[in-house]
Structure 1
Amino acid sequence: MNAPRTTAPPVTGAAGRFLTGVGLLLRGLGLYLRSPGLMLLGIVPALISGALFVAAFAALAWFVDDLAALVTPFADDWSATWRNLTRVVAGLAFLGLGGLLAVVSFTAVTLVIGDPFYEKISERVEERFGGTPGAVDVPFWASLRRSLADSVRLVALSVLVGVPLFATGFIPVVGQTVVPVIGAAVGGWLLALELVGAPFYRRGMRLPDRRSILRADRPTALGFGVAVFVCFLIPLGAILVMPAAVAGATLLARRSLGQSIEER
């Protein structure tokens, strides 16, 4: 039976709630650093996934010049200055799209690889804050199948959003200023949806449930998700921050459901 869809009433403006979301990641980091057991649980799957994605992004960076030339054949007869400028913009657009997809899909893949590890981290965080009201017993394989299905849907959505952003990235100035901001917002929202999966599954709730509940306090969810997104862009940031993000996402889920986030 699904838990009631209650949400914590917003008490500040959008900017204040956005910062509250950022603060939830910092609180998750604090919980993580104070718990050596959680650190050991969380680092292994992130290292495995991180190695795969570093190799993939390095390959993209290696071939980005060839890809830029491939999608800009119209510039072959232009002067060297304009041809090079166009292909630099195209290369940056490829790297931007690759970064967005890597950040979102890294989370999905890491959560699948480390499902039992991150589930345990999330459970331990909930125990510190009063347990899980409305918890349901979900078998491991059923939980894994649901997690895979929802992760595939979120990655597919990130591709659908990322392709238009990639195309817009060719627009001078706008493509290098506005588009990265939009990309961080979109990526942050998708990360928030992905990371709160474990506490919502524990309550028998699926992707549509967490989407509607987080939407009720979107600035907080965005603040948390964008903070995670920015951390994931830092070299090795995704590996080091992932377990803390899982802990912070548990706090976000509890807050969004109107449950206590004060330690007992």
Structure 2
Amino acid sequence: MSHSLIEGASYMLTGLRWLPKAGLRGVVVLPLLINSVLFGIGIGWSTSRFEQLDQAVQRALPEWLAWLHWLLWPLFILTALVVVFYTFTVLANIIAAPFNGLLAARVEKLAAPSGAPPRPPAELTWQELALSPLRELSKLLYFIGWAIPLLILSFVPVVNMAAPVLWMLFSAWMLALEYADYPLGQRGLTFREQRRLLRRHWPLTLGFGSMALVLTLIPVLNFLAMPAAVIGATLMWVREVSAS
């Protein structure tokens, strides 16, 4: 299991190394620009809200539990970071979905063994590109369906101590699911079939998603996270499906 976790994380790092690769630079530019603009907005918005969140936490606690503020504050910050950055990641992917689809198709071509016949689809049709934001909306609805119970749990005393860990695991799963759709969707797998495949390879999935989450939360690298994740997920799942 640990080997699969490390292997999954390594594919995300491979995606970073492939960003300047010849043949990808042209299709990396737009997803990179979209991600940079939206994450810049997200960082500015979340920074301006942290002080308000701190004041809200202090007001919510009774005076005799005021000391808990210093314990709960880091938990709320971590939860807020995960929620804010994943929300902006989803928004960035909805906007960049057609370009990410093109990027995944280009990566699969470059990763094909020399002399091997290309696996279908060799190129995406414009109809598929136009419908790709709709697939992103279905993933957003799936995220909301699980995020609401987790959000409620975050406000339950004592139990909410586990909320940041649950948010991190959930976000790792969702990021892995988000980027797996580009190579797997092009191979005809439905959203339900993709979830089934990722559950069968859950250590690989969580390794990849966890590294994607880490890069998403690191300044500067978070601007590169989306195109790198598309590349890494494409390499990982194309090889995984080919081997199965």
TM-score, structure 1 normalization:
0.74
Q: Structure 2: which amino acid aligns with 1:95?
A: I
Kindly provide the CA deviation profile for residues 119-149 of structure 1, in whole angstroms up to 9, marking residues without a partner as x.
232122211333653438764244432x323
> 2:32 aligns to what?
46
The reply to whether residue 230 of structure 1 matches residue 214 of structure 2 is: yes
The reply to whether residue 210 of structure 1 matches residue 175 of structure 2 is: no
Q: For structure 1, which runs of at least 5 residues remain unmatched after alignment?
A: 1-13
Contact 1:105 1:155 in 2 (8 A): no
Q: Kindly tell me: are residues 63 and 125 of structure 1, through their superposed partners in 2, closer, same or farther at Cα, counting changes over 3 Å? A: closer
Size of the alignment, in residue pairs? 240
> 2:49 aligns to what?
63
DSSP 3-state at the match of 1:258 = helix
Contact 2:8 2:205 in 1 (8 A): yes
Q: Kindly tell me: are residues 103 and 206 of structure 1, through their superposed partners in 2, closer, same or farther at Cα, counting changes over 3 Å? A: farther
Q: Percent identity?
A: 27
How far has the Cα of 1:22 moved from its partner? 1.1
> 2:69 aligns to what?
86
Q: Kindly tell me: are residues 160 and 57 of structure 1, through their superposed partners in 2, closer, same or farther at Cα, counting changes over 3 Å? A: farther
The structure 1 residue matched to 2:130, chosen from 144, 147, 152, is 144
Q: Kindly tell me: are residues 78 and 168 of structure 1, through their superposed partners in 2, closer, same or farther at Cα, counting changes over 3 Å? A: same
Structure having the higher helix fraction is 2
The structure 1 residue matched to 2:13, chosen from 26, 30, 42, is 26
Q: Distance in 2 between matches of 1:154 and 1:97?
A: 20
**What is the RMSD computed on CA atoms of the aligned residues?**
3.2
Q: Distance in 1 between matches of 2:231 and 2:119?
A: 17
Q: Distance in 1 between matches of 2:232 and 2:149?
A: 30
Q: Structure 1: which amino acid aligns with 2:141?
A: A
Instruction: For 1:154-233, list aligned pairs within 5 A.
Output: 154-169=139-154, 178-233=162-217
Q: Distance in 2 between matches of 1:86 and 1:160?
A: 29
DSSP 3-state at the match of 1:50 = helix
How far has the Cα of 1:226 moved from its partner? 0.8
How far has the Cα of 1:19 moved from its partner? 1.1
Q: Distance in 2 between matches of 1:65 and 1:168?
A: 22
Kindly provide the CA deviation profile for residues 58-110 of structure 1, in whole angstroms up to 9, marking residues without a partner as x.
323323343454466553x515xx43643872x54553343223333333333
Contact 1:101 1:155 in 2 (8 A): no
Q: Kindly tell me: are residues 150 and 101 of structure 1, through their superposed partners in 2, closer, same or farther at Cα, counting changes over 3 Å? A: farther
Q: Distance in 2 between matches of 1:62 and 1:84?
A: 24
> 1:245 aligns to what?
229
DSSP 3-state at the match of 1:197 = helix
Q: For structure 2, which runs of at least 5 residues remain unmatched after alignment?
A: none
The reply to whether residue 120 of structure 1 matches residue 102 of structure 2 is: yes
Q: Distance in 1 between matches of 2:26 and 2:225?
A: 13
Instruction: For 1:100-111, list aligned pairs within 5 A.
Output: 100-111=82-93
Q: Distance in 1 between matches of 2:164 and 2:102?
A: 34
Q: Structure 2: which amino acid aligns with 1:19?
A: I
Kindly provide the CA deviation profile for residues 169-222 of structure 1, in whole angstroms up to 9, marking residues without a partner as x.
56789856x543332221111111111222222222221121111211111111
Q: Distance in 2 between matches of 1:43 and 1:71?
A: 41
Contact 1:122 1:198 in 2 (8 A): yes
Contact 1:118 1:246 in 2 (8 A): yes
How far has the Cα of 1:230 moved from its partner? 0.6
Contact 1:96 1:166 in 2 (8 A): no
